[in-house]
């Protein structure tokens, strides 16, 4: 081999290594590569260099943490300049060179395809299960605004807890609620929004609705403001069974013990006004009134006289203190109250307020 040919061989060899390693300038290398490929005088030399380099390619396992299939494929496409080579596809040498390059590329592509498939089949479920969850708790006496990873938002009422993944994966956006929450769901027809509440779940798309589902309540109440929801019962094998659909202005009351369902028309805002700081009683029996007030004001409120438990009270309070509400009770109903003295604890705080409701003297029989 003459000195000039030897020098040219080393020049081409160095250039091809640079192309394979992707360390050269893009425009400059593209033009030079075309020049070499289209030069019949360089055909034999390039073919010899390519086969010489074949034996030096090491097929070592790729560490999992370093595998990025998309990035590798992008590099291969970039290095081979496939799109550019189509412009010179009439060249017989092009076809030969391309076959050689494709053979080299296959060495890189096959391990990537095999490894990626193995990850998808064997690791996909495991990765989903490892997605961390977040939990929001709204303490007694407070209401809490929340925003979810998909852009949905809402409010948690007093003493409520919401649990959700830090990102939604799979075919559904699934969260869990214990207590009461108002939801403004971002629409996504391909991925329904599901609120699990124990034995039932509420499935929606772009919707506004309220769910009341406290552990110590005998009922679960779902009220739809806009959109549409589907209520499913969770069977023993954990499969959802469609129970009922709701349209705007409809409310469903589910008896937890029996599973009985009652649907009726209501003013939805009456059942979500709590998020605006309003405590509303709609001719509720005093048992329910006391339960709501205890949560709302973080106080222990009890009823002394059994006759008072079935007495129904109607009223709306906005930003009133517990003392103001109790005074209104006393002024507008046969109800009186007494408060126990609070005790100071070792840490300097005081016990919860304890209030007992009873019938005013002279009221032997209550009329609603």
Give the pLDDT of residue 235: 75
Give the pLDDT of residue 361: 84
Give one DSSP letter per residue of 201-239, joined into a string.
Answer: EEEESS-EEEEEE-TT-SEEEEEEEES-EEEEEE-TTS-
Give the tens place of pLDDT for each residue, 161-175.
Answer: 999 999 998 899 999
Mean pLDDT of 331-359: 90
Give the tens place of pLDDT for each residue, 178-187.
Answer: 999 999 999 9
Give the pLDDT of residue 259: 84
Give the pLDDT of residue 33: 63
Mean pLDDT for the chain overall: 78
Give the pLDDT of residue 127: 47
Backbone angles phi, psi at 301, to 5 degrees: -115, 125
Distance between CA 10 and CA 267 in Å, rounded? Answer: 84
Provide the token pair at 112: 């990537």
- Quick check: 237 pLDDT over 90? no
Give the tens place of pLDDT for each residue, 77-103.
Answer: 445 444 444 444 455 554 555 455 544
Distance between CA 268 and CA 275 in Å, rounded? Answer: 12
How confident is residue 56, by pLDDT bands cut at 50, 70 and 90? low
- Quick check: 58 pLDDT over 50? no
For the chain, what percent of residues have pLDDT higher than 70? 65
Q: Which of 24-28, 252-256, 283-287 has the lowest mean pLDDT?
A: 24-28
Mean pLDDT of 325-335: 92
Give the pLDDT of residue 250: 96
Give the pLDDT of residue 34: 60
28: Cα separation from own chain's centroid? 47
Q: Which of 20-24, 338-342, 345-349 has the lowest mean pLDDT?
A: 20-24
- Quick check: 366 pLDDT over 70? no
Give one DSSP letter per residue of 38-52, joined into a string.
Answer: H-GGGHHHHHHHHHH
Distance between CA 96 and CA 99 in Å, rounded? Answer: 5
Give the tens place of pLDDT for each residue, 215-227.
Answer: 888 899 999 999 9
Mean pLDDT of 127-147: 86
The H-or-E segment that residue 6 falls in is helix 3-21
Give the pLDDT of residue 357: 95
Phi-psi region of 22 (alpha: psi -120 to 50; beta: other; left: phi over 0): left
Give the pLDDT of residue 46: 65
Provide the token pair at 291: 């339960």
Of 272, 284, 251, the C-alpha closest to 368 is 284
């Amino acid at each position: 081999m003459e000195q000039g040919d030897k020098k040219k061989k080393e020049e081409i060899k160095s250039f091809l290594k640079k192309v394979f390693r992707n360390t050269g300038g893009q425009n400059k290398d593209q033009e030079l590569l075309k020049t070499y490929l289209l030069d019949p005088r360089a055909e034999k030399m390039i073919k010899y260099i390519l086969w010489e380099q074949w034996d030096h390619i090491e097929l070592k396992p790729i560490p999992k943490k370093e595998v990025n299939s998309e990035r590798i494929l992008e590099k291969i496409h970039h290095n081979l300049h496939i799109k550019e080579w189509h412009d010179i596809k009439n060249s017989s040498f092009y076809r030969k060179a391309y076959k050689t390059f494709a053979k080299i590329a296959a060495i890189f592509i096959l391990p990537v395809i095999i490894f990626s498939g193995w990850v998808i089949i064997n690791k996909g479920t495991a990765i989903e299960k490892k997605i961390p969850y977040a939990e929001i708790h709204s303490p007694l006496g407070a209401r809490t605004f929340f925003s979810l990873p998909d852009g949905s938002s809402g409010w948690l009422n007093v003493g409520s807890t919401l649990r959700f993944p830090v990102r939604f994966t799979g075919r559904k956006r699934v969260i869990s609620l214990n207590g009461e929450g108002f939801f403004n769901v971002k629409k996504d027809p391909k991925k329904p929004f599901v609120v699990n509440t124990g034995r039932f779940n509420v499935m929606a798309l772009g919707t506004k609705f309220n769910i009341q589902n406290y552990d110590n309540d005998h009922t679960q109440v779902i009220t739809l403001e806009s959109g549409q929801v589907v209520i499913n019962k969770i069977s023993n094998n954990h499969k959802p069974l469609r129970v009922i659909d709701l349209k705007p202005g409809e409310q469903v009351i589910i008896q937890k013990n029996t599973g009985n369902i009652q649907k009726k028309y209501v003013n939805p805002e009456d059942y979500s006004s709590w998020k605006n700081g309003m405590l509303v009683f709609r001719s509720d029996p005093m048992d329910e009134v006391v339960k709501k007030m205890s949560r709302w004001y973080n106080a222990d409120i009890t009823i002394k006289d059994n006759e008072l438990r079935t007495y129904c009270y109607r009223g709306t309070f906005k930003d009133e203190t517990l003392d103001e509400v109790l005074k209104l009770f006393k002024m507008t109903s046969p109800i009186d109250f007494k408060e126990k003295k609070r005790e100071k604890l070792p840490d300097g705080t005081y016990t919860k307020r304890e209030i007992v409701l009873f019938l005013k003297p002279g009221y032997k029989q209550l009329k609603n």
